[in-house]
Every structure is written in structure tokens, then in C-alpha cells.
Amino acid sequence: MKRFFTVSLTLFALAVLWAPLAEAQITDITIREINAIPADSIDALNAAAEALNDPRIENAIFNDLVGDTVRVGAIVMSDPTLSGLSSPDGSGLPSRVHFFVRDTAAVSLGVEGMGIQVVDGSWQENGVLGLLIGDVVELVGTVSPFDEVMQIAPVSITVIGTVGSFDFPASAMDPVVITTADVHRVVTGGIQANWSNLADLRGQYVRFENALVQRRDISSDRPNWTFSTDGGATQLYIRDISLAYRNDRDGAYDDSQFRVFFDDFTPPPPGSGINLQGFLAFDDFDPFGIGAPDDGLIAIGPMEREDLEVTVTPPIVTNVTRPTTVVGAETVSVSADVTADPARALASVNLN
């Protein structure tokens, strides 16, 4: 339900004349209402499947709160000083800061649909680098999606306490444990968002357990990699929102204000077992061509290095021996030592 509050704005003309009184409406709502998607839109997205494109997706996944100025009570869930998406200026300062919050109403109403990304172009004026994980804030801002990504642009951010001072349970900060099939579904030609779950999951703090790394490309300073919890049927890319996962920001960002990492992050190789937590948002960058369409892909943005836990390493192949030449259809012998992680049982080996 929308509840309206009126803020009077007094405008001065030439420092002496009063201009007419202006009024700006602020809607008091929950983040769940911002994330809500009409049922008929979800049905249309599911029916269109791989025929979807960018305009059709954007027309379906937002509601009539877009453009409204809203007020929510929220818990800061990620460290703003780790924000690394925006390119810095010559002083090492980005044009905007990204971080994630969870509605305080999640404590009583549940976490579904209660997460959102905050993108602040006035981060210095709003003092967001002083925010700490677990701070409780009154957030006033404009519902301002970018492409398919739901986000809010702050007008003001006021710290009103902490999770502890409000006596919220520790679970208020917990990630939601899900699978890659909760996020994506299989369609002809690839995968796309599981539209039926989108309103609950976008902007959400989530955790994947017992996942396996599927693909990896470490040829650039922004590695690309995917993981899966269902043997590769559905996968997620990792989005390097955080400075902890970007290798191209050291020396560029002002490390007196931001948590810049000077050691490169290298994703684990395919076959690695991982637990991973972070925040979900659309991202159409699809170097491995798994999306159908790529505009329908959701990625996860881990923020802290500790958000990635490697639980099992892939087998290690050493001491490979083979003939230097092979004549015709001659049968040859190839041997190698294959050592499995102690947590794994090695049933068979195929050398290609």
C-alpha cells in the first residue's frame, strides 16, 4: 500500500521574491513493492522464452513506481568503499558508488523481494563511504532502473541506528541459500532468467553451496567465469562490481577512500567446488554465449574476497609421458599421474 507524505519546498527568486510553494510527494513503501512484477507480465515473459529481446524484457519487468520518489527503511548489506563499477576521474574518484540494501521490513515480512541496488551519483554529498554494513538508514530516492537492472538513486540517506540497536535478529543479515536453477531456466538455445522468481531475487543477497566452476577465461584483467549447482544445465556469471574482484582498478582508484586491492584476483579453475555469496543483478555481458537472449541473464556480484570459498579442487595432472612421434595408425602408450582432491573419489580418467 502506498502512503503519501508531503514535503514543502520554499523557493527564493532573486533572494527577495517568494516563488509559489512547490510540493514533492514521497511514497512510503517497501522494497518488495518496488520489485513487484505484474502476474500477466511474468506469464508473457515465460511464454516468449528465447524470442525475448531487450525492449520486451524492460517493458515487462518494472511497475508504475519507476520515476517515483520513495522512502524505505533499509539495512546496509554491502560496503560502499568496495564499489568498483564506475571508471574513476583523474583524482581517482568514481562518478557513482554502488551498494546494496535490504528492507528492514524483511525482519517481519520475510526477505523475498526485499533487496535492491543503490546507485549514488552524489555519493560525496550523501556521505555514503561512511556507511557500514549493518547500519540502518532512512533512504529517500528515485526508483531509477538502468537497462534491466532495478536500482534506486538516493536523494538523502540518514543513518538512524544499527541492526544491533534495533535489536534485529542476526538472521536479518543472512544470505538466501538458492540454486542456479532458481535464477535461470533452460530454453531453446541457452538459458535466461527464471522470470517467476525474478521479483523475489533481484537485488537479493544470496548464497550458492556445493557449486562447480564450469568455464573460465583469465586472458584479461577482468576474468570471466561461470558456475553451476546442477551440472551445467543452468549457470551464472560473476559480475565484478566489487574492487575485491577487479584487477584493473589498483592505481586508478583513490585508495585512501576506497578499499583497493593490489593483488590480482584469479577465479578457481573449472571443476572446482565452491560456495559463493553475493548480490544478484541483470548483466548482458555473455562472452561464453550461454544466454538466450543475453539480455535475460542475471549475474552475481560477490563483494568481499571471503564471499568465495573453494571447497574442492579439480584433479591435478602431472608427469605426462607420450611418444615424440607417431607413425600412421601405430598404437602408442600415454601415461600420467592424476591426483584427486582428498574430498573426491577418482573413478576414472580420460586423457584428451
CATH for 250: 2.40.50.140
Report CA-CA distances (Å) from 269 to 45, 187, 226, 249, 288.
Answer: 34, 27, 10, 23, 15
> What does the pLDDT read at residue 324?
80
The pLDDT, as a whole number, for residue 12 is 30
Query: Which residues pair with residue 259 across a beta bridge?
Result: none
Whether 24 is in a domain gets the answer: yes
Cα-flanking dihedrals φ and ψ of residue 165, to 5°?
Answer: -70, -25
In a domain, 341, yes or no: no
pLDDT digits (tens, 9 = 90+) for 256-291: 999 999 999 999 999 999 999 999 999 999 999 999
Q: Quote the percentage of the chain above a pLDDT of 70.
A: 92
Cell of 302: 560477490
Secondary structure, 3-state, 1-29: CCEEEEEEECCEECCCEECCCEEEEEEEC
Total domains in the fold of the chain: 2
Residue 323, in any domain of the structure: no
Say whether pLDDT at 108 is over 80. Answer: yes
The Cα–Cα gap between 341 and 158 comes to 49
- C-alpha to C-alpha distance for 244 and 240, rounded to whole angstroms: 8
Residue 120 lies in a domain: yes
What CA–CA distance (Å, rounded) separates 297 from 286?
8
Digit-coded pLDDT (tens) for 42-88: 999 999 999 999 999 999 999 999 999 999 999 999 999 999 999 99
Distance between CA atoms of residues 302 and 206, nearest Å:
9
Phi, psi of 326 (to 5 degrees): -130, 125
> Quick one: 167 and 223 in the same domain?
no
Q: What confidence score (pLDDT) does residue 282 get?
A: 97
Q: What is the pLDDT of residue 344?
A: 67
Q: Mean pLDDT across the chain, nearest whole number?
A: 91
Q: Verify that 144 and 159 share a domain, yes or no.
A: yes
Do 117 and 189 share a domain, yes or no?
A: no
Three cell numbers, residue 274: 565452491
pLDDT tens per residue, range 123-151: 999 999 999 999 999 999 999 999 999 99
347 falls within a domain:
no
Verify that 64 and 213 share a domain, yes or no.
no
Are residues 163 and 193 both part of a single domain? Answer: no
Q: Is residue 158 part of a domain?
A: yes
Q: At what angle do helices 39-48 and 54-61 cross, to 10 degrees?
A: 160
In this prediction, residue 5 has a pLDDT band, given cuts at 50, 70 and 90, of: very low
Tell whether 16 and 160 lie within a shared domain.
yes
**According to the model, what pLDDT value does residue 337 have?**
76
pLDDT range class, residue 18, cuts 50, 70, 90:
very low
One DSSP character per residue, 102-118 reads EETTHHHH-STT-EEEE
Domain that holds residue 32: 3-171
